[in-house]
Amino acid sequence: MDNLFAIKQEANGLRKAKEYEKALPLYKEFWDTTADKFDGTGLLNCLRKTNNLEEASILVEELFQRFPDFSWCQKEVAWTLIATKLTLPVKAEKRDDFLNTAQRILDLNSDNITKERVVFTVVKFCNESKDWIPSRKWLLLIDPDSLSSDPILINGKKGWSKHYY
């Protein structure tokens, strides 16, 4: 038992050190043997961070069904859905699925970072589709006073501030 605890600590340390490739097989083994909410959520985090998005998509539903009230799980599920389902471009016939997924993500985790990411992605989609009514509805979810007027830095280059989105 002490050995298992030590290995779990090692996996957690690797994940926190952003060494997801090294932590991934440990979490897979834990999940297969314990089915513990921490092991499953750690596995989902590593799968997402290593771009194993197909495998992560399968795990998302299982984790959410088993641990719907576990906060860390909700956040990982939300970010995995962003990475797997909320990517552009979206075909017009998938519009409702896209918007439903966006709403599901906000229902899971509506902290400011997640909310901004989801809302700006939806607004971009709606604007590109010239679908103005949902665009306005989604924009109203963001408090303009919460947005920074400082320019965004991308690869060391200044971009627009979030006020100009």
- Last residue of one domain, picked from the residues 78, 108, 124: 78
The CA-based dihedral angle spanning residues 14, 19, 25, 29, taken in that order and rounded to the nearest 10 degrees: 30
CATH number of residue 63's parent domain:
1.25.40.10
Both 59 and 100 in a single domain? no
Which of 55, 78, 101 is the last residue before a domain boundary? 78
Q: At which of 60, 78, 96 does a domain end?
A: 78
pLDDT in tens, the chain (165 residues): 468 788 889 999 999 999 999 999 999 999 998 889 999 999 999 999 999 999 999 999 999 899 999 999 999 999 999 998 888 677 766 888 889 999 999 998 778 889 889 998 998 888 888 888 888 888 888 877 777 777 777 788 877 666 655
Same-domain pairing of 72 and 10 = yes
Question: Domain range spanning residue 48?
Answer: 1-78
Task: Judge if 2 and 60 occupy the same domain.
Answer: yes
